[in-house]
Amino acid sequence: MTPARLLLNPAALRAVVATVLLPLSWPLLAHEGHDHDATAKPTDVRLAPRFEARSEELEVVGVLSDKRLLIYLDRADNNAPIQGAQIEVEGPGIKGVSTGLADGVYVLSAATLAHAGKYPLTLTVQAGEVADLLSVDLQVGEEPSVAPADSNADRKWWLIAGISLLTLFGVLITRRRRRQSE
């Protein structure tokens, strides 16, 4: 049978069109929240240990950096930094009053917090007429190990192989039916 006559057969024509168009449709297999062509994001992002606490009047964020505890103190209603406050930090292995730097940032030596562990801390904040007692937990230590590779990583290979085999079987069945009808 000639190639021209083969392409006039509707079943054969559908098989050829599907075979040609199938590779063009791979990007359409991506679904919401999963882009097959997306660049992989770095998996090893390590942030400094931190805590945060909020009361009706205050918002406090603490970051452990270079054996120092940096404390950011803001007003809860407008996020304005509070200067001239006195912040006392108390917990296992640490007790002290922070020193003000600038723009609502305070610092306290915290060499004992540099070791891995969970540290429950109590912050006593005195800022003008505002006084507050806040409890926070500071988690210091290694991040959990990276999760195993995505279990769907092999799915793409199986999908391509399955669709290719289905297309091949469709072409072979069409060809066999044509030979039987001749």
Residue 96 falls inside a structural domain? yes
Give the H/E segment covering residue 14.
helix 10-21
Same-domain status, 135 and 74: yes
Same-domain status, 124 and 64: yes
Same-domain status, 111 and 132: yes
Residue 41 falls inside a structural domain? no
Residue 146 falls inside a structural domain? no
DSSP 93: T
Domain count, the chain: 2
Residue 15 falls inside a structural domain? yes
What span, in angstroms and rounded, lies between the C-alpha atoms of 14 and 38?
32
* Residue 68 structural domain: 50-140
**How far is CA 6 from its chain centroid?**
52
With beta carbons less than 8 A apart as the criterion, state whether 64 and 50 touch: yes
Same-domain status, 7 and 74: no
Same-domain status, 54 and 135: yes
Same-domain status, 22 and 54: no
Query: Looking at residue 126, which CATH number applies to its domain?
Result: 2.60.40
Confidence of residue 121 (pLDDT cuts 50, 70, 90): very high
Residue 45 falls inside a structural domain? no
Amino acid sitting at position 158:
W
DSSP 160: H
Residue 63 falls inside a structural domain? yes
Same-domain status, 133 and 155: no
Same-domain status, 133 and 158: no
**Cα–Cα nearest to 123, from 93, 86, 84, 75:** 86
Same-domain status, 60 and 136: yes
Same-domain status, 20 and 55: no
Please list, in sequence order, all residues whose beta carbon lies within 8 angstroms of the beta carbon of residue 167, skipping any fewer than 6 positions away.
15, 18, 19, 22
pLDDT for res 135: 93
**Cα–Cα nearest to 175, from 4, 11, 8:** 11
Q: Of residues 141 and 41, which shows the higher confidence score? A: 141
CA-CA distances (angstroms) from residue 55 to 2, 73, 76, 81, 134?
A: 82, 11, 7, 15, 8
DSSP 146: P
Same-domain status, 109 and 157: no
For 50-101, the pLDDT digits (tens) are 899 999 999 999 999 888 999 999 999 998 999 999 999 999 888 999 999 8
What span, in angstroms and rounded, lies between the C-alpha atoms of 166 and 159?
11
Same-domain status, 131 and 64: yes
Residue 9 falls inside a structural domain? yes
pLDDT for res 179: 82
Burial zone of 165 (CB within 10 Å; 0-12 exposed, 13-18 middle, 19+ buried): exposed
Lowest mean pLDDT among 37-41, 77-81, 119-123, 177-181: 37-41
Residue 133 falls inside a structural domain? yes
